[in-house]
Structure 1
Amino acid sequence: MSTVDVDPLVTVILTTYDRREFLPKAIETVAEQTYDKIELVVVDDHSSESPRDIVEKSSTEGLCNLVFVRHEENGGTSAARNTGIEHANGEIIAFLDDDDAWEPSKIERQVDLFQRTDSDVGAIYTAMRSIDMDGSTITLQHATKEGDLTKAFLCGYNIPFTSIAVRRDIVASAGLFDENLPSWNDRHWLLRVSLHCEFLTIDEPLVISQRGTEHDQVSDNFTAKLEQSYPIVAEQFQTIAADYGWLFERKSSAHLKYGIGYSALRNGETEKAREFFIDALVKWPFNPIFYLYAFIAMTGNRGYRMARTAKRAIENRVSN
């Protein structure tokens, strides 16, 4: 039996920082949702110029409530989302970045699915379509895994974060985002969510994410990820993975090393990437992807660029 009320209030937390040109579209995509009971909380993480004027000028007639909060200093994505959670009144909470958009039916379909499921389901996510400046599809990320996703997250499964809607009671159980993490904060938080509920999917691209511009999402700062995020996430993952036995713990550790290796590779740190890919292979020599990327790292930056181009070409062919 569902624990979600009939016509529950949904709070959308929209975080923004120094991207005024994208904010009107993001607000519009929430206001144009076909679901009626939506509260929008806009959190500005201390942009160089306050976007309050943009928020006040935006058409928000379709919303039940609009809240604008501006940080007195920049605290990062986790701090902005935590502020949004603290101001949320909704029974369901969804997250949106300022450079993403939603199909009009997204929230309505997630609420409908919540009302038709049992109390074990606490989070619903969708597929996502990434587009370039011309609106052409770059990649299509499907939403495939359902149920208990703890082991999947421990082994590198990734979901489009701005596609997710989570019951408020599950958010309270999982706790706030870790503000000590400059990256991987989504991954860290979703793992904690998975300890308290099961996930369902809508495998349709109800989220549209724009890529390939200078205004793309926060860049992958490898140094911060390696020195700050990796130790915290590795400790969390190891603790939880150990409950599934020593063999699974090795598998989980290998996937995390692969993840930090991939980050090193895309940031041109090919020597460090090789080290992490080899460590992943030592931990878990049963995944062919680890061998592939170890080889790519050995070819240097040129090999990585060629592999990335080939990967996108394959993804485009599959999605078309």
Structure 2
Amino acid sequence: MATGRLNKICSAGADMEKNPLVSVYIPTKNRKETLGRAMRSVADQDYENIELVIVDDGSTDGTQEYVETFANDKHGSIRSIKYHKSNVSKGACLARNAAIEIATGAYVTGLDDDDFFESSRIGRFVAVANLLTDHSYLFTGYRYRTLRRGEDFFFKWISEVDEVTLLRILKRNCIGNQVFTTRERMLEIDSFDKLLPAWQDYDVWIRLIKRFGPAKRLDNYSYVVDTVSAPDRISDNQQKIRDAHQIFLKKHPEYIGKKLEAFLNATYIFYGSKSMSPMDLMSIFFKDRKYACEVVKQMARNILFR
């Protein structure tokens, strides 16, 4: 394996007590155009002490040169840019873990290379970072970019509860794909599980709650998920999701004996990967009517926007 690292200091002298360093990690592979948009959204943050960590999982499209050019420019909110490349592709899971190892910020949060931040995202997290005293991590709502009749269409989604307990998250991933927490906590739980072919983020959210307590929602939509620019997401790979489902049942025994398996099955719906039989839907309806209604709504979204 060949590796390389680019480290450019863009600004210094921040007051670390009032403005702690936040590491934003981006795993990437052959998506330099959307990666550029993701990096610019970090550079445009109104919080000015950010470390950007990019782990390249074997790109062959000139990503390294693209990042080098970006790093040569001045970016007020970014204190440093770190770039790490593997010439052998090992998957996004290991790329995320490598990024967290490389990071030096007190706090970490992720960004997919095909998504982007609203400019206030990091600042809003840091402003209430004290909530992490009683919560394992913080999360927000999302804006989704998709197509409707060939035109850009955005819709919003946010968790129905502002505090997510273990029982709640075992029913479904009501967090999304990114959170804000301490780097120390991610390392303590060994970050993302490389054996999971999908749902690695969902697994981490569960393990963080098991270890450090409930998660806390912030009422904003500062993360934009772009389902148009890079449609080849893991969450659309049915075989990977089926394999992940089986691993989940073995890894999290809470699903066994508590009649929660039906909820895990319903997660297929939320990842847009399989239809649900009327019998499955009825079994959920009798356990949790409100949740069953949400499943139906998600099924409708899948039909309209995919």
TM-score scaled by length of structure 1: 0.77
Instruction: Give the match for residue 66 of structure 2.
Output: 54
Task: Map 1:1-320 to 2 at 5 A.
Answer: 5-58=17-70, 59-62=73-76, 63-115=78-130, 117=131, 119-132=133-146, 136-162=152-178, 164-195=179-210, 196-213=212-229, 215=231, 217-218=233-234, 220-226=236-242, 228-237=243-252, 239-241=253-255, 246=257, 249-250=258-259, 252-260=260-268, 266-267=272-273, 273-274=276-277, 278=279, 281=282, 285-288=286-289, 308-309=302-303
**Deviation (angstroms), 1:14:** 0.8
Q: For residues 26-68 of structure 1, what are the alpha-carbon distances to aligned partners after superposition, in whole Å with 9 as ceiling and x for unaligned?
A: 1111111111111010011112334111111114522111110
Rate the CA distance shift 1:45–1:307 in 2: closer, same or farther, 3 A. Answer: closer
Rate the CA distance shift 1:57–1:145 in 2: closer, same or farther, 3 A. Answer: same
Q: Secondary structure at the match of 2:162?
A: coil
Worse overlay, 168-177 or 7-16: 168-177
Cα pair 2:198 2:235 within 8 Å, conserved = no
Supply the AA of the counterpart residue of 2:167.
K
Rate the CA distance shift 1:92–1:135 in 2: closer, same or farther, 3 A. Answer: farther
Supply the AA of the counterpart residue of 1:258.
A
Supply the AA of the counterpart residue of 2:37.
K
Task: Give the distance between the partners of 1:46 and 1:78, measured in 2 at CA.
Answer: 13
Q: Secondary structure at the match of 2:45?
A: coil
Of all paired residues, the percent bearing the same amino acid is 23
**Deviation (angstroms), 1:148:** 4.7
Task: Give the distance between the partners of 1:99 and 1:109, measured in 2 at CA.
Answer: 22
Rate the CA distance shift 1:118–1:82 in 2: closer, same or farther, 3 A. Answer: closer
Q: Secondary structure at the match of 1:22?
A: helix
Instruction: Give the match for residue 315 of structure 1.
Output: none
Cα pair 1:46 1:70 within 8 Å, conserved = yes
Q: Which runs of 5+ in 2 are unaligned?
A: 1-15
Rate the CA distance shift 1:122–1:100 in 2: closer, same or farther, 3 A. Answer: same
Task: Give the distance between the partners of 1:30 and 1:131, measured in 2 at CA.
Answer: 18
Q: Which runs of 5+ in 1 are unaligned?
A: 297-303, 313-320
CA RMSD of aligned residues (A): 3.1
Rate the CA distance shift 1:74–1:279 in 2: closer, same or farther, 3 A. Answer: same
The number of aligned residues is 283
Supply the AA of the counterpart residue of 2:287.
F
**Deviation (angstroms), 1:290:** 8.8
Rate the CA distance shift 1:221–1:132 in 2: closer, same or farther, 3 A. Answer: closer
Cα pair 1:45 1:76 within 8 Å, conserved = yes
**Deviation (angstroms), 1:306:** 6.8
TM-score scaled by length of structure 2: 0.80
Task: Give the distance between the partners of 1:285 and 1:218, measured in 2 at CA.
Answer: 31
Supply the AA of the counterpart residue of 2:157.
Q
Q: Which has the higher helix share?
A: 1
Q: For residues 259-317 of structure 1, what are the alpha-carbon distances to aligned partners after superposition, in whole Å with 9 as ceiling and x for unaligned?
A: 24676xx55x66xx53xx645755874345898899x9xxxxxxx9877446x6xxxxx
**Deviation (angstroms), 1:233:** 0.9
